[in-house]
Structures are given as C-alpha cells and as structure tokens.
Amino acid sequence: MQVKAQIAMVMNLDKCIGCHTCSVTCKNVWTNRQGTEYQWWNNVETKPGVGYPKLYEDQERWKGGWTLDRKGRLKLKAGGKLRKLLNIFFNPDLPEIEDYYEPWTYDYETLTKAGPSDDQPVARPISQISGDPLDLAWGPNWDDDLAGGTTTARFDPNIRGELEESVRFEYEKVFMMYLPRICEHCLNPSCVASCPSGAMYKREEDGIVLVDQEQCRGWRYCVSGCPYKKVYFNWETGKAEKCTLCYPRIESGQPTICSETCVGRLRYIGLILYDADRVQEAASTPDEKDLLDAQRSVFLDPSDPEVVEQARYDGVPDDWIEAAQRSPIYPLAIEWGVALPLHPEYRTLPMVWYVPPLSPVMGFVEGEGSEADPDDVFPAIDELRIPVQYLANLLSAGDEEVIRNVLKRLAAMRGYMREKNLSGAGADEIADSVGMSPRAVEDMYRLLAIAKYEERYVIPLAHKELAAELEGQQGSCGLDFAGGPGSCAPAEPNGSRRNEAFYAMKEKLEQRAGELGSVPAPNVQFFKSKADFESFHLKGRPQGGGA
Amino acid sequence: MNLWDQFLWVIFPYLSLVIFVLGHIYRYVYDQYGWTPKSSQMFERRMLMWGVLLFHWGILFVFIGHVMGLLVPIEVYRAMGVSDHAYHLLALWAGTFFGVIALAGILLLNMRRWFISRVRTNTETMRFITDGLLLVVILSGLFATVGYRIYAAQYDLPAEFEYRENIAPWFRSLFYFAPQAELMLEVPLMFQVHVLLAFVLFALWPFSSLVHVFSIPLGYLRRGYIQYRSSNPQAARARERARRKGQQVPRPERSRNVE
C-alpha cells in the first residue's frame, strides 16, 4: 500500500441550473487570451447533446482513454509508444477547430462609426483566428437547453442500445439535464501517458494534472489521448493547456473559481486518500461495469488507523490526513455511494464525480387519475423523465442497478426529511429501505442541502515550506510569459513597476521565518536588494521612478 | 583564389555553423517556452496530412542520403567494393525518388501556408522564410541531381559528377578546422547554389520552428506512462528509497505554514 492524497470534486447535478457562471468565471480567470478563446476548461453541457467538442464521447472516433489488449493488459486506445512515435508527424486523432467552433468577435467599428443611413448598421461576426468575416454555424453551447436538439441531440453517444428506440425528441416526452465538466484529474490519466515529451504530470502531493509549458513540445497527443477532451491546444503558443484545478487557489486553501462562484452551490471539494500501488490493477478490471467498484476500492478510509499510519509513513502531512477525514468527497462517493464517476469505462479513474439528478416523473405516471402514492417514490424511479439507462451510460458504464440505487437513496432522503418535518419524527423504515442509518440520511441531507462553505470545501493548505526549490520560485512572476494569463508587475500610473505585493510578502515571510527560527525564509538570501529583484524579474531597469 | 571565394567557402559556412550551434544553445536556455513546431493541424487537416507525411518521410531519407554522400568518404565505398557507377545509380534513383516526395510535401505545406487564410494569418515571418527556403533548397538539390545529368549530356561531360571528391571532402574539412576552399571552386554552379542555400537555412534554423527537429521524443519509449512530480523532489526521492528498504522516513514537523 502506498498512500497518496488527491484533491477531488463532486458535483450534485440535482442542483445545476445551467447558468454557466462557472464557465464564465473560469474563462475570465484563465482563458481570455489569444489562442485560448475556444478553450473552455470548465463548460456546462446540455444532455442529451453532442457535448464539447462535438461528440467527444465517441471514443471509436477519437481513440481517447485506455482499453484492454487481448491479454487483458491496459493500453492506450490510440496505440502504444512506438506507434505514437511513428505517427509523430501527424496526429490522426486530433479534433479540428470545427469540432469545437471557430472563435469570433464582431466588427464593432463599422457599427459605431456608421453614418446616417436608411439601413440599420450591423456588426458582422469576424473570425478571431483569421480575421475574415464568418458565417456563424456553431459556437459555445450552441445546443444549450436542447436548442436544435431534434437535429443534434440524437447523435449523443450516450443514446445507444435500447435507448435509441425509446428516446424521443417530441416536446412532451423530451428530457434534459446539465453536465458541468472540468478536467477530471484522473488517477490513471491517459493524457499524461500519451505525452511523448514527458511534459504532463500528476503532482505528487495533491494529484493535480498539469502541463509543463516549457517542456511541452506541442505534439498534441494529450489532446487526442484525453477521452474527456479537456486538454486543449493553444494555437497561438503551440503548446497544450488545460484546467489547473486553480492550483494557486487550492494551495492557499480556497476552492477553484468555478466552485467558488457556483450559484447552485452544487460543488464539493475535498481530499481522497488512495492506494497508488493499486491504481493500475483497478484500471485493468476486465468488466467495464466493475470499474466503479474497483475505483472505490482504491480509495482508502481516512479514519482507519492503519491507513493513517501508512499515510504518515508515505509523507502525507498530518493536517492533510485530518482534512481527508473531514472530506465531503469520501462520504458522498464511498459511505453513501451517491456520487459516481463520469464514464468510468474510459479506465482513467476520473476524480470529478457526480450525484445523478432526480427528475420529474413522466406525465403519464402522475397524470390525472394516477393512484400513485406521493410518498412511495421507488416504483416511479424507472418512470423518471431522464431514463435510468441514459444516466447509466453516462455515470456507471451502463450498469442501471447502480443508478437505480443512487436515485432511490436520494428519493429516500427526501421522503425521510419530509416525514421528519411533518411528523417531527424521522421515518427510520425509509432509511432502512435503502440500507442507510437515519443518522447517515440526515448527514447526507445536511451535506447535499444546507452545507456551508467550510463543509463543502475542505481544502488543506499546501505545505510549500517543504518545497526544496522555494527560494527560486517564491515571488517570481507566475505565468509571466508572453501570452500568459498574468504578470506580477503591472505598470503603475506613475510609470513605476515596483511590485508592492512582492515586498509586502517578502517582509512578511522574513518576519514569519524569524518567529519560527528553524525555517529559512524564501527569497531572503536570493535577492540581496530591490535592485537585484528588479533586474532579475523586470528585465532591466524600470523607466522613470521605481528603483 | 580570391577573397570572394574565401568568403563563400570558408567564412560564410563557418559563420552559419557558429550561428547554428550558439543559436540553438541560446534558444534552448532562454526560450523553452517557444520551442515547438507550432502545429496548425487544428486549422486545416487534409492538406497538412499529405504535406507533412510526404515531406517528413521524404526528407528523412534525403538526410540519410546526404550522410552517405557527404560524411562517408569515397574510399570507404571503394574499399567495400561499391563501384562509383553503382553508387551514382543508387544516388540518382533513390535521391530523386525521396527528393520528389519531400518536394511534393514542402510544396503542399507552402501552398497551405499561403492560401489558407487562418493558417496564413497565424504564421510568423520566420516561418514563411524557412518554409520557402526549404522549398528552394530541395528544388536546387533535385536540380543538381537530375539537372546536372541533362546538362552534362549536352556538353559531353561525364554523366556522373563525383561530388564525393570535392564537395564531400570540403564539407568534412570544415569540421576538422582545415577548410579546403579550393575544392569548391570547380564544382558546377547548381551544386554550389544548393550548398550555399543550405548554409543560409542552417543560420536561420535556431530562430525558427525548425528547432523541433531536435526534440524527437525518443525518451518516451523508456518512460513510465504515469509521471509524478513533487514540489520537493529530494524528499520524494528519499521517501522512495526508504520505501524500497522498508524504512520509516524522518517526518517534517506538522503544519508550519508560512502565510
């Protein structure tokens, strides 16, 4: 057993209203640069629908994720290492910009400078890639809320088998749900395995999957290797970029920006301890339907003394072990088992899980003359608008029984709480009927319905003081490259480029280091003077004022 | 031999090679972030597929041909019993075959770069120059290989120009720092042009996306699939060593977070 910690997320789809606030805040923070216009590190898809990029779930076409070879060994669906090197000149499985959409802006100048005229002036859309006028035919969330669903949604790869016969896109029979997606930060990431340059990696401490922008050589195999298509190619810099799980926020104990701004408060972030030695074994489980249980078996109970001892042995800090014990993810995914991974059949062991949504009972069940008992929801589980099989294709590799059990638990929780609110006493038999204790049902209700910020986001601070290379990194301009999202030294109005934040931080660090005694303060020895710092970071003397 | 010859066959090649070597070192040290072939596959796929595959596989074999012709001395072939005629027959047919493949590829790539709007808009000047230069160098090379035979036939010259007795030793002489410029003086113009254009390309190489040639990811074959990186690699390595020995690692004190 080798214990590693992983930051994981759960989204409660029951509460997603499809407002796209997560996508918009993510875009404003990370991808509002040239080359990243089309990159939605967080996006919200309407399901059924083709998704983003179009039909990304069709792995027969894109060859993302893992599969088993004839001997049952795990291999990349797109082929092994030698095959990749022979194909290094041209990636046969790479989506084109049309599979996403061509980003555009509008010719506002013509509009604002238009003189008096008989005709209404318009701002024509122009491509942000070529600058040419563009006839818009597809864009972000073009099929939002099933818009155009009769022509596109039927191609949803999750509508297969019997569903193909039964799903109808007539107004009164239609169903839909929202699916917010970020990078899954998988335990067995196929993007990392696909990278010929070794530029992609999982962080040892928290499992966040990142692209080393300096080491990336732009071969684009991560883009095609990721079955969720959550690694994007920046066409301006020629490098791959992806969701960073907002690691600068996570390191300082804050939730990702998509979670922070989620209107429905449906996201949960916490730690999962897992057994790194068993990841490959779990991903190689022969039957796709057993992958969910296999992944759950890799997760370790953070309250188990043996696990705690091993975690300490493997270098997990004590406050991280405590955080793992308070994690909202562990009960949702394991204890109550109501959270499920997206497409476990890709064998990447994804770490963003979903609580499937309950949906209204189909009209013909609860319609006029219905004898259905409103408290007895179980018989109606199979009559919900969103077919159980559809959810199963999405969240449990097609195993309907898993979905049915989760939905029953969610329905039972509502029944239990209704009973408790009306009669004052909990209805233990309802909890019993889904194999949960009344206490567990109430805990689940608390976490899913009324949990506060601190309960939804249990994120321990990163132990950066343990990092060896801190002296070199601290205070440097994160992502301060051409085209990068941030620069730490914006020009002041008076022309000074002195970075006040840096000096404030530097002083604080020195003071704190003094108090602690044994800890060397980062940067203290590295920069002897302000001039040192400025000549190192600001590439020459500032113009006017400043130093 | 006048100063002009000295410049063309000694000074200029050395300038170019120095820029090539130092330029790559400079770029590697200071511009890891810019080190990429900067693919435009997302913008246009079909022409790229044909262009890229034809060009890269063609140029790979053309490169091998140049190693055989320039770096391997003619004495080696003679010692091995390969007749000059047999060598030139191979050089002509294989060279022309792969040369034409590379030419078709680079032609497609150039057309694509110029005529497809969103590819053109996102191409730096240097990329236009190097792509164009590659086309010209390949064309001049093919012209030297095939064109010389046509030229020689008209003037009753020997059909096979033995570049292994002048160009090749001159090229090698550059690398042991005893340049023999005089060897290049009697070389036909079409060969001279090809050589000089190639050296122009070498001088531009480190400042273009051609640097990606040196990033063939052979390390991928040896590497494990899942890569981990630690913010404290020394501690991670120490833990790993201790794990293998089954020892306990000294633990840092808990939670000394510097805010």
Let me know: does A39 contact A232? Beta carbons within 8 Å: yes
Contacts of B40 in chain A (CB under 8 A): 235
Q: What residues contact residue A128 under an 8 Å CB cut-off, 6+ apart?
A: A34, A37, A102, A103, A104, A105
Q: For each of chain B's 259 residues, which pLDDT tens digit applies?
A: 799 999 999 999 999 999 999 999 999 999 999 999 999 999 999 999 999 999 999 999 999 999 999 999 999 999 999 999 999 999 999 999 999 999 999 999 999 999 999 999 999 999 999 999 999 999 999 999 998 888 888 888 888 899 999 999 999 999 999 999 999 999 999 999 999 999 999 999 999 999 999 999 999 999 999 999 988 777 777 777 777 777 655 554 433 333 3
Binary contact (B235, A213; C-beta < 8 A): no
- What residue ranges of chain A are covered by domains with CATH 3.30.70.20? 19-242
Query: Any chain A CB within 8 A of the CB of B230?
Result: yes
Query: Any chain A CB within 8 A of the CB of B247?
Result: no
Report pLDDT for A29: 96
Contacts of B209 in chain A (CB under 8 A): 238
From the CA of A368, how many Å to the nearest CA of chain B?
54
Query: Any chain A CB within 8 A of the CB of B250?
Result: no
Let me know: does A175 contact A360? Beta carbons within 8 Å: no
- Per CATH, domain A19-242 is 3.40.50.300: no
Domain ranges of chain B: 3-221
Q: Chain A interface, mutation test: which of B231, B243, B259, most A Cβ atoms within 10 Å?
A: B231
Q: Chain A interface, mutation test: which of B44, B47, B108, B232, most A Cβ atoms within 10 Å?
A: B232
Contacts of B237 in chain A (CB under 8 A): none
CATH architecture of B3-221: Up-down Bundle (1.20)
Query: Any chain A CB within 8 A of the CB of B41?
Result: yes
From the CA of B62, how many Å to the nearest CA of chain A?
16
Nearest C-alpha neighbor of A62 from the set A72, A54, A50, A70 = A54
Report pLDDT for A465: 67
What is the distance between the alpha carbons of residues A513 and B157, in angstroms, rounded to a whole number? 83
Residues of chain A with pLDDT below 50 are 364-370, 468-492, 494-497, 522-529, 533, 535-547
- Transcribe chain B into DSSP letters: --HHHHIIIIIHHHHHHHHHHHHHHHHHHH-STT-S----TTT--HHHHHHHHHHHHHHHHHHHHHIIIIIS-HHHHHHTT--HHHHHHHHHHHHHHHHHHHHHHHHHHHHHHHHSHHHHHT--HHHHHHHHHHHHHHHHHHIIIIIHHHHHHHTT--SS--GGGTHHHHHHHHHTT---GGGGTTS-HHHHHHHHHHHHHHHHGGGSGGGGGGG--THHHHS-SS-EE-SSHHHHHHHHHHHHHT-PPPPPPS-----
Binary contact (B42, A204; C-beta < 8 A): no
Among chain B residues, the shortest Cα distance to A35 is held by B122
Report which DSSP code applies to A331: I
Binary contact (B49, A315; C-beta < 8 A): no
Binary contact (A198, B57; C-beta < 8 A): no
Query: Any chain A CB within 8 A of the CB of B38?
Result: yes
What is the distance between the alpha carbons of residues A238 and A197, in angstroms, rounded to a whole number? 14
Of the candidates A97, A197, A312, the beta carbon closest to that of B217 is on A197
Let me know: does A15 contact A265? Beta carbons within 8 Å: yes
Distances (CA, A) of A283 to A67, A301, A347, B218: 9, 20, 5, 26
Among chain B residues, the shortest Cα distance to A280 is held by B226
